[in-house]
C-alpha cells in the first residue's frame, strides 16, 4: 500500500502484520485489525482507555506510533481470554461491580494485570498509583479497588508459581 509500512509484531500471542503510515497510532492499527477492546478516548495519553501491554509494560496506544512496535509483543484485553473463559481479573471486575459502561474496563484490567505481575500483593496506595493513568467516569473507584484486591487473592498462587495467564 502506498505510504504505509508493514510492521510485524505479536498481538495476543499471534504473529501479526500491521499496515501503518508514519502517523498511524498503535491504537488505530489495532482497531484496523479488529481489536476492539482498545478504546479511542482522549487521544492524548491521559484517560487510559487505549491501554495495552507493550513488551510487558502498560502503554497508552494512542501515543505510540504503530511503526515503533516492530518485533514487539502486545497484549490486549482480548488476549487475556483463554478458551472462551475470562481471565480472573476480568471476572473479578464483573463480580465486584467495577464495570458500568465498560469503556475504561479493558485499560483498567490491563493496568491491574501489569501491577500484579510486579507486585502480587499491592497496598491500597500502590493500587491507586498503578491505576492513576486510567480514568473512570461512571463507577467511581471503590468497585475497581475491590476488583484489584480480589484479583490479587485469586492470582496469588499462579503469580508465585510464575504463571501469569
Q: Which residues pair with 10 in a beta bridge?
A: 15, 73
Distance CA 20, CA 151 (A): 36
C-alpha cell at 69: 512496535
For residue 1, what is the DSSP state?
-
Question: Which residue ranges form the domains of the chain, and what is each CATH number?
Answer: 5-79 (3.10.20.30), 81-157 (1.10.150.120)
Q: Identify the residue whose cell numbers are 481489536.
A: 35
pLDDT of 88 higher than 80: yes
For residue 133, what is the DSSP state?
T
pLDDT of 47 higher than 90: yes
pLDDT of 41 higher than 80: yes
Q: Identify the residue whose cell numbers are 505510504.
A: 3
> What pTM does this model have?
0.92
Amino acid at each position: 500500500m502506498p505510504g504505509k509500512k508493514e510492521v510485524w509484531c505479536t498481538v495476543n500471542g499471534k504473529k501479526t502484520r500491521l499496515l501503518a503510515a508514519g502517523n498511524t497510532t498503535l491504537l488505530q492499527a489495532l482497531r484496523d485489525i479488529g481489536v476492539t477492546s482498545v478504546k479511542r478516548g482522549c487521544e492524548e495519553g491521559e484517560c487510559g482507555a487505549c491501554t495495552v501491554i507493550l513488551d510487558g509494560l502498560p502503554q497508552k496506544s494512542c501515543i505510540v506510533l504503530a511503526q515503533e512496535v516492530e518485533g514487539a509483543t502486545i497484549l490486549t484485553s482480548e488476549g487475556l481470554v483463554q478458551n472462551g473463559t475470562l481471565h480472573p481479573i476480568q471476572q473479578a471486575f464483573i463480580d465486584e461491580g467495577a464495570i458500568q459502561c465498560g469503556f475504561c474496563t479493558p485499560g483498567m484490567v490491563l493496568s491491574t494485570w501489569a501491577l500484579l505481575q510486579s507486585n502480587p500483593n499491592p497496598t491500597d496506595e500502590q493500587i491507586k498509583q498503578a491505576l492513576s493513568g486510567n480514568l473512570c467516569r461512571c463507577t467511581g473507584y471503590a468497585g475497581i479497588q475491590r476488583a484489584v484486591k480480589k484479583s490479587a487473592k485469586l492470582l496469588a498462587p499462579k503469580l508465585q508459581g510464575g504463571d501469569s495467564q
